[in-house]
Amino acid sequence: MTTAVRRPARSPVPPKPPRLRARIIGWSVVALILAAHVAAWNATEMSMGALLEGVTGMGEFLSEAVPPEFGSEVLAESASAAIVTLWIGLLGTTLSVPGSLVFALLATRGTAPGWIYQTARGLLSFLRAVPDVVFALIFVTAVGLGPFPGVLALLCHNIGVMGKLWAETLEEADPGPAQALRSAGAGRIQVAAQALLPVVKPQLVGLLLYRFDVNVRSSLVLGLVGAGGIGFLINQSIQLFQFDEMLTHILVVLVLIVAVDQLSALARRLLGSAP
């Protein structure tokens, strides 16, 4: 007698969602996206007609700005203000390092108790939520015009941004060394100093360089509200209808940004090649 070979029972195939239902969901999502764009278009008063009507005015504006004013006095003033803008971005970045590091450790799970963790996260969210321009307006009112309120504005905003980025980097670090130290009886500060920070130091420095690049650009905008630097000269040129000088200042800003980009790229390459 031959015995029948039993075939293994096949697992039931999950039923496919009906095509009609999938199409309805897809078209509903598309309709919601289109409705959101229509609402945004109306709320922002977008008008292609107004743009076309303003072409003539834009042409007159460019004709008055070109060629730029390359007089020695204008270039000297512009270069001096650009250096001030660079210093604002530098100080706003480096002076925020201690506060950013403290908040990052307090806002990292495992290095701070639960209530401190939640409080630190809330403070970082507040500092990030307030734009640096708003901080600049507040400090301009408090200490007057000039580069100093710009540094203070970047300092406050950058602590919120960099503290959040550093906290997330610490939480994504390899948990092995930290767990080994905890099992040996190490405290929170010892775990952070000996296990977490050494592991993620390259990432922290890379984020710091990135924020320096961003802060130099932000310091330009802060100058438009009276916080010093070359942004102040651009705003002054526009108010005095000296558009050729305005274009000169913008070209100097372009040179400054390219130089900062190259400097940041060089620092990242050196950091990556370091043992």
Q: What is the pLDDT of residues 11-60, one digit of tens each?
A: 555 555 567 788 888 888 999 999 999 999 888 888 777 777 777 777 77
Range of the domain at 131: 68-273
Asked whether residue 61 is domain-assigned, the answer is: no
In 10 A of CB 235, how many CB atoms? 16
Separation CA 80–CA 10 (nearest Å): 78
Asked whether residue 133 is domain-assigned, the answer is: yes
What was the pLDDT predicted at 275? 45
Q: Which residue has the higher pLDDT, 2 or 111?
A: 111
What was the pLDDT predicted at 63? 74
Q: What is the model's pTM?
A: 0.76
Q: What is the pLDDT of residues 163-190, one digit of tens each?
A: 988 888 887 766 666 666 566 655 566 6
What was the pLDDT predicted at 205? 84
Q: What is the mean pLDDT of residues 58-72?
A: 75
202 pLDDT band (50/70/90 cuts)?
Answer: confident
- What are the C-alpha distances in Å from 258 to residues 163, 224, 265, 270? 27, 21, 11, 18
pLDDT cut 90: percent of the chain above it: 11
Asked whether residue 47 is domain-assigned, the answer is: no
Q: What is the mean pLDDT of residues 247-259?
A: 88
Asked whether residue 125 is domain-assigned, the answer is: yes
What was the pLDDT predicted at 95? 92
What was the pLDDT predicted at 221? 83
Asked whether residue 11 is domain-assigned, the answer is: no
Q: What is the mean pLDDT of residues 61-72?
A: 75
Provide the domain count of the chain.
1
Asked whether residue 86 is domain-assigned, the answer is: yes
If 0-12 CB within 10 Å is exposed, 13-18 middle and 19+ buried, where does residue 27 land?
Answer: exposed
Asked whether residue 163 is domain-assigned, the answer is: yes
Q: What is the pLDDT of residues 218-247, one digit of tens each?
A: 888 888 887 778 888 888 888 888 888 888
Q: What is the CATH number of the domain that holds 183?
A: 1.10.3720.10
What was the pLDDT predicted at 167? 85
Asked whether residue 228 is domain-assigned, the answer is: yes
Mean pLDDT of the chain: 80
145 CB-near residues (< 8 Å, 6+ apart)? 226, 227, 228
